[in-house]
Chain A
Amino acid sequence: MAAGALGWWGVPLGILAGTLRGSVPFLLVSLGECLTEKSGKINLGLEGTLLFGAMSAYAISYLSSGIVGPTLAPWLGVLAAGVAGMVLGAIHGWLSQQPRVNDVAVGIAMIIFGGGLANFFGKPFIQPQAPQLPTIPIGGWSSLDPVQSALQISPLFLLGVAIVPLMSWFFKSTRWGLYVRAVGDSPDAALAMGISIFWVRMASIVGGSFLAGIGGASLSLFYPGVWTERISSGQGLMAVALVIFARWQPWQCLWASLLFGGAQALGPAFQSVGIDSYYYLFNAAPYILTLVIMIITCSPQRTLAGAPGALGKDS
């Protein structure tokens, strides 16, 4: 798209633009998963949540645009995506806390269930065009059209960036943040403090799923801005892996999300300057990057620094 006027400059520009666009779902899902995992439970089902959120946002935006107008409709869609995420989160939160039920297995089931629901209800919305979220242009300093059209950021990106310091502060300095960390690090101590482990985890999982649902809204209402059955293509799972890489810290989630968004933009960016023989292999870049990062950061000898103590243990 940007290749014509810019030549090879199209590659870094494409990657930069792709980073701004593509990192939004990674950021929101990884923040949601960060909150969930801090409480000691894993939610692999955020992949399904992302898909269901994307569908809900698109459907509500399309259906309500006739009633509330195309300006407000996408925001209703975002809200609907968050609520849809919370519903799936509540199922996960309840089921994964039953005795002898493995949270990883529940996550896999929720991927199938969430994806199934999304495709079931989303079928009528594949064709119609729903009103999209507005974008904020930040390329106004340049006189070149391709630069201006490439540098657009989503309000949801700003929302995600705003949540980062808030969540960091929440964990460090608030009573509720302490509750979440206590439940995740040492459930026994939390119980002794008189905290309900069940409800803290439930709240963390539902809250995390809310963010993941909004991440889905950014897929269908911002970029790529359509609803298709394969729109999430594993981004929810990559975000889960990304939280491990980010050592369960919101600020690190932000940097990691930008990195992943950039990796995702490699294929399209090279295609834009005419290198398309390896297009599909470049598209595998984020998955390979995730794998490489996990190989580098994980170790069989020790648990990772910053990992919640009760994570992955049966309660």
Chain B
Amino acid sequence: MASTTTWRRSLEAVALPMGAVLAALVIFGVFCALAGANPLAVYGSIYRAAFGSWSAWQNTLIRASPLMLTALCTALPARLGLVIIGNEGALVVGGLAAVSVGLGLGGSLPGSLVLLAMALGSLVAGGLWIMAAGALRHYRGVNETISSLLLNYIAIALLSHLVQGPMRDPAFVSKPSSFEIDASAWLGTLPTTRVHWGLIYGLVASVLAYILIQRTTFGFAARTAGGNVRAARIAGLPVGKLTLAVCFLAGSCAGLAGMVEVAAVQRRLNESIVSNYGYAGILVAFVARHNPLATVLVSVLLGGILAAGGILQRSHDLPDATVLVFQGIVFLCVLYSESLYGRFAFFQEREAQVEAAVASV
């Protein structure tokens, strides 16, 4: 696929999403102006809070790490033609599994082994959670978008039940929470930074996902089935197994994001883990056009915007939902840009233009 595309096509694939994000920035500026804030000052604040200094960069990267992982939960099944939006739920059950494993093993094992077990637990839990949506799709024809979204709410209800009841730490009063995981099993930071190891998890998962989808026969089979299920069946591809496997991998990425949040940021389980990283991950996947390497870039961008949420409230008196409005505008603009592919003559090949001209005559 990549080898046959030429530079004009590649440029189109980069320029259109970039243009969409720019258009979204302009619309967002108008929105801010209508809400009584100076758009240029808002842009400046976002830039400074997101990328203006090394400290800002670190804040951005801390938020980008879970986004990279949750974005894969939408991006991988999308290559198979499935629209999965159960990212938040998979993140929650991943965090739940990680905390259960971490509390269960406690200080009995060396910290690194506990961390490994927590990661494995979150991978399996998140994977099975989304695999359920994939299985329902394949065996029962249940719409995977709706089922995965319902699973989000079920996961959150399960979380509320466990932290209010069976797992609750009675000594922690500010908010119903589980017990704290042992300090030896906290996920550390990268040397000389405040950024935790989750960033490396996200980068590695993204690269692995890219290789899996673009450079292996498994990925080729998945993309074939995504392009035309009937043709894939005739070619003898095991569509069911592919669906289950891809959904498992997708869910396990989001589950790992839950483990990262728990082990590196929250340290105990409570409803703060439901902090929209899942929904933002959907946006990242769509903006990146479901390319696992592009999701890294988009995650950093969106991580920066999330990091700027607080400053918008403090210096411009805009509510914290401003970031959500901006995300919505970006999402709508990027979707609109999908309809613009092939509309601009500049991005078309010479032969293609001639052929099109001939065809139109």
A299 contacts B by Cβ under 8 Å: yes
Is the beta-carbon distance between B327 and A112 smaller than 8 angstroms? yes
Partner of A233, one of B138, B153, B161: B153
Interface size on B, residues (CB 8 A): 48
| Minimum Cβ distance to chain B for residue A119 (Å) | 3
A63 contacts B by Cβ under 8 Å: no
Q: How far is the CA of A39 from the CA of B332 in the complex (A)?
A: 22
Partner of A105, one of B83, B147, B158, B324: B83
Kindly identify, within residues 271 to 302 of chain A, every residue whose CB is under 8 Å from any CB belonging to chain B. Answer: 277-281, 283-284, 287-288, 290-291, 294-295, 298-301
B210 contacts A by Cβ under 8 Å: no
Is the beta-carbon distance between A277 and B165 smaller than 8 angstroms? yes
B164 contacts A by Cβ under 8 Å: yes
Is the beta-carbon distance between B332 and A298 smaller than 8 angstroms? no
Is the beta-carbon distance between A295 and B142 smaller than 8 angstroms? yes
Task: Given A100-B339, A100-B341, A112-B327, decide whether A284 and B136 contact each other with a Cβ distance below 8 A.
Answer: no
Is the beta-carbon distance between A112 and B279 smaller than 8 angstroms? yes
B143 contacts A by Cβ under 8 Å: yes
B328 contacts A by Cβ under 8 Å: yes
Partner of A116, one of B149, B161, B321: B321
Is the beta-carbon distance between B331 and A44 smaller than 8 angstroms? no
| Minimum Cβ distance to chain B for residue A55 (Å) | 11
Partner of B145, one of A91, A104, A110, A287: A104
A234 contacts B by Cβ under 8 Å: yes
Contacts of A233 in B (CB 8 A): 153
Q: How far is the CA of A240 from the CA of B85 in the complex (A)?
A: 15
Which A-chain residue is minimally distant from B132 (CB atoms)? A291
Task: Given A120-B319, A280-B161, A295-B136, decide whether A300 and B341 contact each other with a Cβ distance below 8 A.
Answer: no
Is the beta-carbon distance between B338 and A300 smaller than 8 angstroms? no
Is the beta-carbon distance between B327 and A116 smaller than 8 angstroms? yes
Partner of B324, one of A102, A120, A284: A120
Is the beta-carbon distance between B283 and A112 smaller than 8 angstroms? yes
Task: Given A120-B322, A277-B165, decide whether A106 and B335 contact each other with a Cβ distance below 8 A.
Answer: yes
Most buried by A among B139, B142, B152: B142
Kindly identify, within residues 212 to 241 of chain A, every residue whose CB is under 8 Å from any CB belonging to chain B. Answer: 229, 233-234, 237-238, 240-241
Is the beta-carbon distance between A100 and B319 smaller than 8 angstroms? no
Task: Given A105-B286, A240-B146, A280-B157, decide whether A95 and B335 contact each other with a Cβ distance below 8 A.
Answer: yes
Kindly identify, within residues 317 to 361 of chain B, every residue whose CB is under 8 Å from any CB belonging to chain A. Answer: 318-329, 331-332, 335-336, 338-339, 341
Partner of B321, one of A100, A110, A123: A123
Is the beta-carbon distance between B286 and A237 smaller than 8 angstroms? no
B314 contacts A by Cβ under 8 Å: no
A117 contacts B by Cβ under 8 Å: yes
Is the beta-carbon distance between B150 and A238 smaller than 8 angstroms? yes
Partner of B150, one of A100, A277, A283, A290: A290
Contacts of A109 in B (CB 8 A): 283, 286, 328, 331-332, 335
A113 contacts B by Cβ under 8 Å: yes
Chain A, residues 295-313, CB within 8 Å of chain B (1/0): the string is 1001111000000000000
Is the beta-carbon distance between A119 and B150 smaller than 8 angstroms? no
B141 contacts A by Cβ under 8 Å: yes
A159 contacts B by Cβ under 8 Å: no
Enumerate 28 A-B pairs (CB-CB under 8 Å) in ascending A order.
Answer: A95-B335, A100-B341, A101-B336, A109-B286, A109-B335, A112-B279, A114-B328, A115-B321, A116-B325, A119-B319, A119-B321, A119-B324, A123-B321, A234-B152, A237-B150, A240-B146, A281-B157, A281-B158, A284-B153, A287-B154, A291-B150, A291-B151, A294-B146, A295-B136, A295-B140, A298-B141, A298-B142, A300-B140
> Other than the known A234-B152, A281-B157, what 7 A-B pairs have Cβ atoms closer than 8 Å?
A44-B146, A100-B341, A109-B286, A112-B279, A298-B141, A299-B140, A300-B138
